[in-house]
Amino acid sequence: MKLAIVYTSITGNTKELATILGELIKGYDLDVQLFTIEEFPLWQLSHFDAVVVGTYTWGNGEIPGEMLPLYRAFENQDTHSIVTGVFGTGDQFYPHYCGAVDKFRDMLYVQSELAVTLKVELTPQLQDLKRCRKFAELLMWRLRQNCPSGMNKIS
């Protein structure tokens, strides 16, 4: 099973969260590949069993410009069987806290097998680790549901 974590980060907070989630998901013995959005081959999107999207929010709750090609790829390619998750970091001071996460969530719900979302205030803290573990668990649960024969060995 192949899983991609595709993220963008401007302050390093989302990158840190992507790294934490990547390590937790690797614990399930999957082929986990971590990509910045600039590194991710959009044309290979459908070659992954699962894709996890990580983003910060720009401006007034907007998706950052560099993430729009990935957003459109999910809309334009056949991704309905891909298990997905979305996470992001943000500041609750703003009225549209992690608005980019919400926009990806709504689109992924329609275009994929959305399993889980996660919002973290600014930089990941020790108390966020429990939520990160739950994110990984729920993602793996959905993968098992979608591909039971290949996932029975995961503990």
pTM: 0.91
What integer is the mean pLDDT of 25-49? 94
How many Cβ atoms from other residues are within 10 Å of residue 125's Cβ? 9
3-state secondary structure (DSSP) of residue 47: helix
Q: Which domains does the chain have, with CATH numbers?
A: 2-151 (3.40.50.360)
Tokens of 96: 């549209």
pLDDT at position 30 is 87
Q: Tell me: the pLDDT tens digits for 44-59?
A: 999 999 999 999 998 8
Q: ∠ at Cα 26 (115, 23), nearest 5°?
A: 95
Q: What is the pLDDT of residue 1?
A: 87
Query: Which of 39-43, 48-52, 130-134, 142-146 shows the lowest per-residue confidence on average (mean pLDDT)?
Result: 142-146
Q: Closest Cα partner for 128 from 19, 3, 32?
A: 19
Q: At what angle do helices 68-76 and 99-111 cross, to 10 degrees?
A: 20
Averaged pLDDT of the chain: 90
The pLDDT-based confidence of 38 (bands split at 50, 70, 90) is: very high
Q: What is the pLDDT of residue 148?
A: 52
Average pLDDT over residues 123-135: 89
**Which tops the pLDDT comparison, 145 or 51?**
51
* Contacts for 110 with CB less than 8 Å, ≥ 6 apart: none
**pLDDT score of 94 more than 90:** no
More confident residue, 9 or 97: 9
* pLDDT tier at 92, thresholds 50, 70, 90: confident
For the chain, what percent of residues have pLDDT higher than 90? 75
